[in-house]
């Protein structure tokens, strides 16, 4: 799978080279979305959306965003579902969202159909699903099931990864001390003149990079909302309170990740060093950006690979800087004034453009 992540990373770098030559400011949030979409397209559908090539229409990002908006609305008020999608109720944003959702489904359906018809020796997620057999019947997945799986991966693995990338970049750019320490670690291992995209194994040997990634996922878990779990027939005692069968419970990652009782008084502050201090292992229990248990994120390792490869490859060769270094979120709703301003639908995504300049990195002196 790594080859597909690396090929997306190379395309991203080619675009950064162009931007560095033109000195043109750019919205890095868009590039992160296009990278995440193209990469998950390669992995889940065996083809990418060509967003990083600038060849395709970037509506794909909006298609998933519309789906998330609809999903979040139903999620909060399930009873609303049957009214809200009623075609006679003139809610324009719902109609738009439904239309876009269908458009994304059509693309997914066509690409899966093409892949099954033509066959392929690619080693992507889709290949693993096509090879999978039911352990009881020996039957493969049906085409409709493959479409559903691919669709889930596209929806679950695009905005989440893009938001996390933007969170890493934004916070590192906001903190010159952290930026300097990170680029020094990266450029010592990968000097700017090197044209190779680092491997995942190599990035795992960069402790400060790993700490910056974890800390960004802590302060901004892309799915920060509670994920529902139904209490089983025997009931369940959680945090000292007993819940009867059928009650829906959930813990928001956002709340756990910012609890001062766990993280200390600086829980709201982006401080990667906390992951490198003596007792850092105690934090792992409370670090749940991918959730935990049998329904936890199946794309976790791919996501971590994307975050590590892109961040390393980008900062090895380029410097990035916020055009407005004072860009902040007005402090409210649990955020502090260093946070990114977010839209909280199913997934939290940056609300405003994150405009940066890109320039060629100087070798370390
Ligand atoms: C930083 C990026 C990502 C984050 C923060 C993230 C987070 C999550 C979370 C919190 C869940 C919910 C688990 C639960 O209900 O307990 C989830 C589910 C899921 N994720 Fe991810 N994810 C990311 C990237 C990906 C990627 C790249 C893929 C695909 C390769 C992916 C595929 C999925 C799928 C298919 C599910 C549904 C699993 C199920 O319902 O059983 N995710 N993810």
What angle do helix axes 28-45 and 300-317 make, rounded to 10 degrees?
Answer: 140
Whether residue 1 has its Cβ less than 6 Å from ligand 1: no
Strand order in the sheet with 26-27: 26-27, 355-360, 318-322
Structural tokens at position 67: 């789906």
Give the span between the Cα atoms of 150 and 161, in whole angstroms.
16
Ligand 1 pocket, 118 CB below 6 A? no
Which of 75, 156, 167 should be mutated for ligand 1, with most atoms under 8 A from CB? Answer: 156
Supply the pLDDT for residue 343: 76
Domain containing residue 63 = 2-227+251-360
Q: Where are the alpha helices (DSSP H) in the chain?
A: 2-22, 28-45, 59-76, 81-84, 92-118, 125-131, 143-157, 159-174, 176-189, 200-203, 207-219, 253-257, 260-263, 300-317
How many CB atoms neighbour CB 275 within 10 A? 20
Q: In 293-304, which positions are buried (b, 16+ CB within 10 angstroms) versus exposed (e)?
A: eeeebebeebbb
Report the pLDDT value the prediction gives residue 55, as an integer from 0 to 100: 63
Question: How many Å from the N-terminal Cα to the C-terminal Cα in the chain?
Answer: 36
Q: Which residue among 32, 290, 301 has the greatest number of ligand 1 atoms within 8 angstroms of its CB, and so is best to mutate? A: 290
CA 31 remoteness from chain centre? 13
Model confidence, pTM: 0.91
Gap from CA of 175 to ligand 1 centroid (Å): 29
Q: Has residue 234 been placed in a domain?
A: no
Instruction: Name the β-bridge partners of 248.
Output: 230
Confidence (pLDDT) at 59: 65
Decide: helix, strand or coil at residue 237. strand
Determine contact, residues 35/29, Cβ cutoff 8 Å: no
| Residue 119: inside a domain | yes
Structure tokens at 351: 């609300």
| 246 located within any domain | no
- Residue 245: inside a domain, yes or no? no
Using the mean position of ligand 1's atoms as its centre, give its distance from the Cα of residue 39 in Å: 15
Tell me, using a 6 A CB cutoff, whether residue 224 lines ligand 1.
no
pLDDT value of residue 208: 98
**Cα(89) to centroid(ligand 1), Å:** 33
Number of domains in the chain: 1
Strands 342-344 and 236-238: unpaired
Determine, yes or no, domain membership for 317: yes
Q: Give the pLDDT of residue 279.
A: 81
Which of 48, 299, 301 has most ligand 1 atoms within 8 Å of its beta carbon, as the pocket-test mutant? 299
**In terms of C-beta density within 10 A (0-12 exposed, 13-18 middle, 19 or more buried), how is residue 51 classed?**
buried
Judge whether 242 lies within some domain: no
pLDDT value at residue 43: 95
- Domain contains 241: no
CATH number at residue 262: 1.10.630.10
pLDDT score for 290:
96
Is the residue at 243 inside a domain? Answer: no
- pLDDT tens, N- to C-terminus, the chain (365 residues): 899 999 999 999 999 999 999 988 999 999 999 999 999 999 999 888 888 987 666 566 666 666 666 676 766 666 666 666 666 666 777 777 777 777 878 888 988 999 998 888 899 999 999 999 999 999 999 999 999 999 889 888 988 999 999 999 999 999 999 999 999 999 999 987 777 889 999 999 999 999 999 999 999 999 988 888 999 999 999 989 999 999 999 999 999 999 999 999 999 999 999 999 988 888 999 999 999 988 999 999 999 999 999 999 999 999 999 998 776 665 555 555 567 777 777 778 888 889 999 999 977 76
């Amino acid at each position: 799978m790594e080859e597909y992540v690396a090929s997306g990373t190379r395309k991203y770098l080619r675009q950064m080279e162009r931007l560095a030559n033109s000195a043109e400011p750019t919205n890095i949030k868009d590039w992160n979305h296009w990278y995440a979409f193209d990469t998950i397209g390669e992995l889940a559908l065996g083809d990418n959306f060509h967003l990083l090539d600038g060849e395709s229409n970037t509506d794909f990002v909006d298609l998933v965003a519309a789906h998330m908006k609809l999903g979040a609305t139903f999620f909060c008020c399930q009873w609303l579902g049957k009214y809200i999608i009623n075609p006679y109720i003139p809610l324009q944003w719902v109609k738009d969202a439904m239309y876009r959702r269908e458009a994304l489904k059509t693309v997914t359906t066509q690409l899966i159909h093409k892949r099954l018809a033509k066959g392929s020796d690619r080693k992507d997620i889709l290949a693993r699903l096509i090879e999978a057999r039911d352990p009881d019947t020996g039957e493969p997945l049906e085409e409709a099931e493959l479409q559903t799986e691919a669709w889930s991966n596209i929806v679950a693995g695009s905005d989440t990864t893009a938001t996390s990338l933007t969170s890493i970049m934004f916070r590192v750019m906001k903190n010159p001390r952290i930026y300097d320490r990170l680029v020094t670690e990266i450029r010592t291992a990968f000097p700017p003149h090197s044209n190779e995209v680092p491997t995942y194994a190599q990035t795992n040997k960069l402790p400060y990079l790993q700490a910056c990634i974890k800390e960004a996922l802590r302060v901004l878990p892309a799915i920060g909302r509670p994920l529902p779990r139904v209490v089983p027939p025997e009931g369940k005692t959680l945090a000292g309170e007993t819940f009867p069968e059928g009650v829906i419970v959930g813990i928001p990652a956002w709340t756990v990740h910012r609890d001062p009782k766990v993280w200390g008084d600086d829980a709201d502050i982006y401080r990667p060093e906390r992951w490198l201090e003596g007792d850092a292992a105690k934090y792992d229990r409370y670090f749940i950006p991918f959730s935990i248990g049998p329904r936890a994120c199946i794309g976790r390792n791919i996501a971590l690979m994307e975050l590590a490869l892109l961040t390393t490859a980008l900062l090895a060769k380029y410097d990035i800087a916020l055009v407005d270094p004072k860009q902040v979120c007005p402090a409210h709703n649990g955020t502090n004034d260093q946070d990114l301003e977010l839209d909280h639908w199913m997934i939290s995504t940056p609300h405003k453009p994150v405009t940066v300049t890109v320039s060629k990195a100087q070798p370390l002196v």
